[in-house]
Amino acid sequence: MSDDLKARVQSVLPALRKDLEDLVRIESVSADPARAGEVQRSAEAVKALFDAEGFTSEIVSEDGGAPAVVAHKKGPEGAPTVLLYAHHDVQPENDHADWDSPPFEPTERGDRLYARGAADDKAGIAAHLGAVRVFGDDLPVNVVMFIEGEEEVGSETLPALLAQHQEALRADVIVIADSGNWDIGVPALTTSLRGLVRMDIEVRTLTHAVHSGMWGGLVPDSLMALSRVLTSLHDDEGNVAIAGLHSGPAADVDYPEDRLRAESGAAPGIEWIGSGSAVERLWTKPALSITGLDAPQVAGASNTLVPAARARLSLRIAPGDTTENAVARLTEHLEAHVPWGATLTTTVVDTGEATAIDATGPAYDAARAAFAEAWDGTEPIDMGVGGSIPFIAEFLEAFPEASVLVTGVEDPDTRAHGANEGLHLAEFERVVLAETLLLAKLGSA
């Protein structure tokens, strides 16, 4: 059976590749209001693809959110229902000069197809499409497609969509194609993701700017005070120094030093921060980064004490922690470390819960067997992800009885949110085969 399915996957790949390239050409950047029409056009294109496969589909939205596609196709009577998730919106492409080819013109170089969305996550849509296309009208399971349109801007209306369409989306197994594999040739199931708290902080020391010569040495300037606050957030090793945050053990996975160097983009000679294994620091311990500063530019700066300075903090929280706890502990820490009577103002920008998945049971057994078969005997590993996909926690909450499988098409060199995002074409074929095998195994079980 697997040889037959493999041959059928190979037969659908050329048309599937064309469908993927057509989707990639649509500039569905959800963060850009000027391209809202492109996001709508993308949803319509996705709907048309599944309509052509015999699905009953509709475009839905909630609370003014971006359009999502919900589609259904029945399998045999009494078969389990599988929900296949991906998203059709993409990240901004940013400076076109950083790309080696136009970001919305799919271009094959070497073993990859380059374009914004070629991997994240229009290849996820294509993988789902390819798997159901292989079976035609003989699906082994009932299939629900849920293709979201605002994942790249935080899935703000997803809870409302899940609530409004809960019965239509209810499934025994949910396959979320928005993650990746451990390496080229090594598949993975994502079983943990860190959560996120983004907070803007302002430190104020003056009611208005004053001359640094007249008042420096007596009045603290806000940049000096903010710097003190920021340096308090880590200990000398680089561990997060906020008391009360959760940390946990990570899977026993070797992450070789040369691969860490190559994939991270670390400058030559840079030392790693923190303690514990590399995967603990990346997957199951908190991490805090300063991702933005509001301060005068060096060029043209005057001899002035700045009255207020701001920073944006990005706190990744470990699986097992909650955003409520993280916000409280971070706020307590900041308040305790503001020097010289400066005024601190904190504003929570957004949050997303961490996820830990108990990847045991028949659906996970079927997935592991399908992956091993598609990757010629290479067993998948259980992988953590340091980044956050908050909507996974929302799926787990909305459908607690379902088995949620998190996987995807990405690999360590996909560069999903950067210039020259690329899909490894041979891995994509394996992903389509793995999902096809998974549907077959779930149906036969």
Please give the mean pLDDT across all residues of the chain: 96
Count Cβ atoms within 10 A of the Cβ of residue 379 and give its class: 0-12 exposed, 13-18 middle, 19 or more buried.
Answer: exposed
Which residue, among 81, 197, 199, has the nearest Cα to 144 in the 3D structure?
Answer: 81
Q: 47 near 59, Cβ under 8 Å?
A: yes
What is the predicted pLDDT for the residue at 251?
81
* Alpha carbons 29 and 175: distance in angstroms, whole number: 24
Q: How many helices (H) and strands (E) does the chain have?
A: 13, 18
Q: 345 near 424, Cβ under 8 Å?
A: no
* Alpha carbons 225 and 373: distance in angstroms, whole number: 58
Using one digit for the tens of pLDDT, what is the confidence trace for 177-228? 999 999 999 999 999 999 999 999 999 999 999 999 999 999 999 999 999 9
Q: 51 near 57, Cβ under 8 Å?
A: yes
Q: pLDDT band at 8, cuts 50/70/90?
A: very high
* Alpha carbons 169 and 161: distance in angstroms, whole number: 10
Is residue 1 pLDDT above 80, yes or no? no
Using one digit for the tens of pLDDT, what is the confidence trace for 234-283? 999 999 999 999 999 888 888 999 999 998 889 999 999 999 999 999 99
Three-class secondary structure of residue 248 per DSSP: coil
Residues 6+ apart with CB under 8 A from 377: none
Q: And the tokens for 288? A: 């805090």
Q: 282 near 384, Cβ under 8 Å?
A: yes
What is the predicted pLDDT for the residue at 151?
95
Using one digit for the tens of pLDDT, what is the confidence trace for 116-162? 999 999 999 999 999 999 999 999 999 999 999 999 998 999 999 99
Residues 6+ apart with CB under 8 A from 100: 109, 114, 420
